[in-house]
Structure 1
Amino acid sequence: MSHPIIMDSLLKFFFITVILLLSAAVREIQGDAMVTGTVFCDQCKDGQRSFFDYPLDGAKVVVACGGNDGQVTMWKEETTNMMGSYAMRFNGSPDLRGCYAQVSGTNSAAGCGASAGPPKNLKLMFEIFDMAFYTVDALISQPAQPMPFCPNRTSNPTTNPIPTPTPTPNPTLPVPGPPPPTVRLPPLPPAPFLEASACPTQNWLMQEYRCYWKVVSPETKVAVAFGLIAAKSYGTDMTLQEGLLGRGDLYRTLLREGTTALLNSYNSMQFPYPTLGVIEHMNMALLGSSSQVLLTALRFKRANSGFGKVGCKFTPCN
């Protein structure tokens, strides 16, 4: 039988060792603040996101913080990637809850940089140790004029009204003139993304459907598509195509169905999860328990199957 004094001493030694190890681990974590968000091109200039808008590559975003005297106390700028996403790191874990983000410029070739939307405040998602993660609601940048296919697009009213002919005392039959020119409106561009479509993983892996990879490519890194939290779980070298091949492991299953849902969200505006929703649910699952990982993976899988009501609208690429 073990002596009570010896057992008590061993337990105290164990707890002190654990506390020292945890303290050392915490000290090794660098205190940083991370800000992430997305910029969209507001093609219809309606001031909000719609299914005509798309993620804007090459947009410059500035995060600024103001002091009590109205002067800017902190300022940083970053450029969006091809998915319209940006991420900024602030050393020292400063409190950014009073700061805002705004589009400060765009790539001149994008054709969507005539004006920027309103600034948006930073929102604190969570804090862990000395690290803080902030998100920003979607920012917008606008072209000089709304696109021709936008609904409720206003045109300049006619300033010269048609004159009323003056009757003559001896009216004669008018001489027929040339017919007025026919005004033909430009046809609406094809918009397959307006149709409901949900395609399972195996369809996205087939070579004949490779043309449906539009916003991202099979070689796009998982860390780029899903952000910092996914990078910690899957590394910085794994591609989306490798993510689609995940089998067996719970977290690889989540990545497979999450990547499929991300591709479906880019392909169809009627997919149950919007693009930002896929990324948010993916990251929240990675921060949660194993049961939350499984539940999120199953929900993505059901959405990717169309809930048995919506099929995959793929046709072989030319």
Structure 2
Amino acid sequence: MLYRNTYRLKRLEKSDFPAVKKLFWEVFNKRVSLEYLENKYNTSYLGVEFICSIAYYNNIPVAFYGAIPQKFIKNGHEIYVAHACDSYTMPDHQRKGLHFQLAKFAYNIMVKNNIKFVYAFHSENTYFSTKKLEWKEHVPLQRFHITVKTLPFGKVLNKIGWNNFYALFFNQKVSQNAIEKLMQEKKSKHTQLFTPEFISYKNSFKKHYCIEIEGCVFWIKIEAIIHVGLSYAPSEIALQKAIKKLKRKAFLLGITELLFQVDPKSVIASQLKTIVNPKKSWLVGYLDFAPNINLNNFTFTYSDLDTF
């Protein structure tokens, strides 16, 4: 715990989640449940959790710096990294260096937990806020929008919260064969470890489905459109055939788009370019805590995002 003037900075604990929920509402006017927050930050399956920091002013929560630990693997070599995500400060307490101090406080927690670097998918706000923290720039992801011409009633289902409807049409279980295919790139680059424990963690606050078509695998979530997290295709032809079949199913379900967001140097990126041209997506920014960290040895995907 650290005191700076009248602010109290501390490591996040489970008892702080009501305060985090309150900040979500007061800063973003967004309602989230305690269950959602507790499940999202419950990374005990990794052996590391609560690498975040929160600030109080006279026992009133005023700022939060959120981050989630992740485990990446390459050729059997595992390392911990941190994904910076939720970060906000009450308007009356902005421009007082709180974000900077909370970030530094969280970074000390990360280093003590053997985390090698922290990274984020930058928005305009996070890009500028990390400049003072001496973050570095990697490369932007690429997004591939595959449109489906259909009546957009998937958007209606999402608006009224009927997303569980899709469990009637898509499989929530991920076979061991599918897991092995989705982890193909771990042999050449560090990729987030995709295991049954990771899948259970993600499903604790978001619903996901696994689609296997034409030897391809797509791990997805559906919120108005199909968001594709991890994906694998044995060839360009197989991917093209699988996408045609997936588009037919999307058409019947009123889903207007398939969205991929992938590392530009990944195999799936080169395969997707045979179907549609990419657009620039989030810039990956990072701050390394260990020597010799080279993000060219890492592959990031849409499913690494905290809200996926």
Range of TM-score over shorter length: under 0.3
TM-score (norm 1): 0.27
Structure (1 or 2) with the larger CA radius of gyration: 1
Which structure is higher in strand share?
2
Greater RCO, 1 or 2 (C-alpha within 8 Å, sep 6+): 2
